[in-house]
Structure 1
């Protein structure tokens, strides 16, 4: 992937949309393999953002180690130049020149770290990524590209918007069962009680196979006795009147 300066313009119409750059590359390879002109194709990244990944902490030891690695390359370069200039040089001289290059690399890395350590004390890798990638094609090759890719879109599905249960549903609109739970602090009005004289429908009859417990029997009430009549087996407390003579 090459990056050039300047503000790029839109390059054709969008044929397909992908969530990863690798998938967009495969689509471009498919178009080129099917004889679609390569200059007519472009990959456009949407929603660009910069991501800086921290790889480690930067210190004198880390700076010296990275400088030594760079110094090896520098020492090999100096040793190669020295050997080419003096074909009869011994191996010890070659190793010595390479060690000098390693020392120079470590010294330069430590000096640069001592200057920049107050502003930056960690190592990182910066990467520019996009939310999705569009494969665009010029109008002269748009029909062929649409036949090959079929306008494929691999973007993630968006969640459905929440249904507002406070408004009445429209005619023919389906509402999922279950009411929304009241939020914290929201007042819930109790169910209204029937007004005086209002007719209340009886309970619905039981369904088939449903067990219904019998209603409890009312408590038994003792029989009422007439005034002046006692309980059988107990004296009344009054004498019976004398029979007429």
Structure 2
């Protein structure tokens, strides 16, 4: 039910504008919050209730049988017969016409309902009611009065300052986003702690390393040895032959 003098509703489907001041799990809680704002003389025409994550819920109410179908068809036909009988009664007919119209309408409704149920061949032997239900109800308010709405709704609860936004991973100090080699340093091939790089693979000298995707750790340089640990040593070279001693024989 709507009253004149309120906020003008757009004729075309339009997303609501404003900030989320509160969020609730049921529609009754969101309705209670708006009622609280109205009781404190807040301009509620700036407020909008938005249901998110909509679901169609069909609640089964019972089993469908021929007897239940017949009773439902007779009731619907009888109400239609009452309407027809009242028209004849107002035009100058007797009360017997009203009773005859009720019985005739009930019999016609019963027969029609049974025929329709018989043609379905038991494909839907139950009754149900469908509803559109939201998983969460957000209360939005225009930006200029959003702070006042949050202050008033603190008594009801469910106040939200704002939704969290994902933060991208921080880059090393002094590195530019356009320079992948500076943002993700790697040791040159052949240094201790780095496996050898095959020709044609990423990481070869002269080719910038591929940037990791969002949420993946960037390649880190080899950790320096802690205090008390031996640092990686270069490979040992054979000692030079002393003067006067023959050198190693060369194989043909």
TM-score, normalisation: structure 2: 0.54
CA distance in 2 between partners of 1:113 and 1:120 (Å)? 9
Equivalent position of 1:32 in the other structure: 38
Classify the secondary structure of the residue corresponding to 1:48: strand
CA distance in 1 between partners of 2:49 and 2:96 (Å)? 54
Aligned residue runs from structure 1 range 1-245, under 5 A? 7-86=13-92, 89-150=93-154, 152-153=157-158
**1:108 to 1:141, Cα distance in 2 relative to 1, 3 A:** farther
Q: What is the root-mean-square deviation of aligned Cα atoms in Å?
A: 2.7
**1:18 to 1:112, Cα distance in 2 relative to 1, 3 A:** same
CA distance in 2 between partners of 1:57 and 1:5 (Å)? 42
CA contact (8 A) 1:51 1:128 kept: yes
Q: Unaligned regions of 5+ residues in structure 2, if any?
A: 3-9, 161-252
Deviations 1:150-171 (A, max 9, x none): 383289xxxxxxxxxxxxxxxx
Aligned-pair CA distance for 1:143:
2.4
Aligned-pair CA distance for 1:106:
1.4
CA contact (8 A) 2:73 2:112 kept: yes
CA distance in 2 between partners of 1:58 and 1:21 (Å)? 31
Say how many residue pairs are matched: 152
TM-score, normalisation: structure 1: 0.55
Once structures 1 and 2 are overlaid, which stretch shifts more, 35-44 or 98-107?
A: 35-44
CA contact (8 A) 1:36 1:141 kept: no
Q: Which structure has the higher relative contact order (CA within 8 Å, separation 6+)?
A: 1
CA distance in 2 between partners of 1:6 and 1:107 (Å)? 44
Equivalent position of 2:205 in the other structure: none
